[in-house]
Structure 1
Amino acid sequence: MRIGAHVREDIDPLASAEKCGAEVVQFFLADPQGWKKPPAHPMAEQLRAAASAGDATLFVHSPYVVNLASTNNRIRIPSRKLVTQHAEAAATVGAAGLIVHGGHVTAGEDPAVGVQNWQKFFARQADEGGFAVPILIENTAGGDNAMARRFDALARLWDAVGEFDAGFCLDTCHAFAGGENLVDVVDRAKAITGRIDLVHLNNSRDEFNSARDRHANIDSGTIDPDQLVAVCAAAGAPVVVETPAEGQASDIAFLRERLG
């Protein structure tokens, strides 16, 4: 099992990964709060070489502003464009996938429309040859009309996009804050998606079902660290900690010791 971290230094992700002992490296290719097309990465050649040699497994996280479920054309259409652009840019650095949050519709809107918007995007892209890298849909922590907070909603989304070979990223903090029991979360997720491609292994600063997405280091949150280890072991997928940077090296070392 490969273990790593989301690194904050996007210019030289490999150097940041080395500092915290990460074998899996996740990073942004552009401002996570912005709508601009990602520029060519200055270390694309080195990143591709590291991925090709097996020295690092790379993942790119899409900007937080992306909402493919939105009924607002001014959000949904730019979101589609941004995901396509980031997938293309992720391919240039040798990334194994692009993580995209499930998104949501607003209060009073029908979540089924958000599901349809996801399905239309995947179907259109399939007609155009697919995405440059796999799209890994990540479960989220809050929002009553979210596509991937509750697992019943995730099941409806997967019924719409699963045929297009979508991937799945399981975030432990998000699941816990979203009201999903971590004891059997892997089995339930796999029953819906058939796969877990990546685990975001984060503790939570808040209580169960808080709907708040505030990550904590493994030994300092409200989730039992033993339960987090059990999720990793059951998932059998690469692991990325998105925990506070000052504790990431310790988080990675803890997981390596416990998981072998």
Structure 2
Amino acid sequence: MLNIGCHLSISKGYYKTALEAISIGANTFQFFPRNPRGGKAKDLDLEDIEKLQNLMKEHNFAPLFVHGAYTMNLASDKEHVREFAKEILKDDLDRVEKITNCYYIFHPGSHVGQGVQKGIELIIDALNEIIPEDNKVTILLEGMSGKGTEIGRSMEELKLIIDGVNNNENLGICIDTCHLYSSGYDIVNDLDGVLEEIDDIVGLEKLKAVHLNDSKVEFNSNKDRHEIIGDGTIGKDTIIKVINHPLLRNLPFNLETPNDVKGHKEEIKILRSEYK
């Protein structure tokens, strides 16, 4: 079974959002637990969460993707920015543990001119402060396209972070097809080679989730410009190879394409029809 969904707003509540996902043929979805630019999040409605959990079991949902705020930068050169990021991360992880059956995904951060090594050190320090020894939440570093001073543009950078975190048993990665292609991993012409490299450096057992996006920009551009499936430089054929690849096909996928819910429904329908 293809485990696929898209990014949805939870403004209507978790249960109703899950119903919306089912209505478009999805059995997972991604959401921001708070405003994507940061700020406070609403208190959890435990009755709503219980209804969500029952519905997910009834419809064989894959894990949901909980995406960290874009403003969260554990590698900032400003202490108050790092502290703000840590506060958000701690609160988000507490929420995810209560919701259950979720993966928490976040952008590692940007070193803003301090250098990659310093940025990675700051990220590791923050995660060692936050992740407890008994952590049960699956936390995933998202691979990035490499724009600006982003950290996480290569498997080597992601591996350095994972290895530096003490309680890293449930720390893994989420790949994004657009980001991979833009950062120089040629999934169009050498998908097997890319997966072999991921396995050699990070380990495929650490790869838990996939953001499924086409790209508006060329290979190795280091730009993060998502496109609707089949309308970009990656192309529908490669996306179909990704969802059917024996090393990936059982993972949960979520679309982040520039589409509305109706458009995501069509993308999901097409991809389900191509899943072997």
TM-score by length of 1: 0.89
**Correspondence list, 1:169-180, <5 A:** 169-180=174-185
Shift of 1:69: 2.1
Q: Counterpart in 2 of 1:209?
A: 220
Counting only pairs closer than 5 Å after superposition, residues 118-197 of structure 1 correspond to structure 2 as: 118-126=123-131, 128-131=132-135, 133-161=137-165, 164-165=168-169, 166-182=171-187, 183=191, 184-194=193-203, 195-197=206-208
Q: Structure 1 residue aligned with 2:102, among 96, 99, 102?
A: 96
Runs of at least 5 residues in structure 2 that lack an aligned partner in the other structure: none
CA offsets, 1:199-255, max 9 Å, x none? Answer: 101001122222222211111111122212222323231111111224211221222
Q: 1:54 to 1:84 in 2, by over 3 A?
A: farther
Conserved? CA contact 1:32–1:65, under 8 Å: yes
Q: Is the 8 A contact 1:28 1:62 kept in 2?
A: yes
What is the identity percentage for the equivalent residue pairs of Structure 1 and Structure 2?
A: 28
SS at match of 1:97: strand
Shift in alpha-carbon separation, 1:162–1:150, aligned structure 2, 3 A? farther
Asked if the contact 2:7/2:31 (under 8 Å) is kept, the reply is: yes
Give the equivalent residue in structure 2 for 1:48. Answer: 53
The residue aligned with 2:112 is 106
How does 1:4-83 map onto structure 2 within 5 Å?
4-11=5-12, 12-41=16-45, 43-53=48-58, 55-57=60-62, 58-83=64-89
Out of 225, 231, 255, the residue aligned to residue 241 of structure 1 is 255
Q: Which moved more, 1:174-183 or 1:32-41?
A: 32-41
- Could you tell me which runs of 5 or more consecutive residues in structure 1 were left unpaired when the two chains were aligned: none
- 1:131 Cα deviation after fit: 4.0
**Residue in structure 2 matched with residue 2 of structure 1 by the alignment:** 3
CA distance in 1, matches of 2:109, 2:95: 21
Code of the aligned partner of 2:266 = S
- CA separation in 2, counterparts of 1:206 and 1:160? 33
Return the offset for 1:16.
Answer: 2.2
Q: 1:175-219 CA distances to partner (integer Å, 9 max, x unpaired)?
A: 112222112332222322222100101001122222222211111
Offset from partner CA, 1:138-184 (integer Å, 9 cap, x none):
01123353221133323333332386121211100111122221123
Taking structure 2 as the reference length, the TM-score comes to 0.84
How far apart, CA to CA, are the structure 1 residues paired with 2:228 and 2:10?
19
- The answer on whether the counterparts of 2:105 and 2:139 sit within 8 Å (CA) in structure 1 is yes
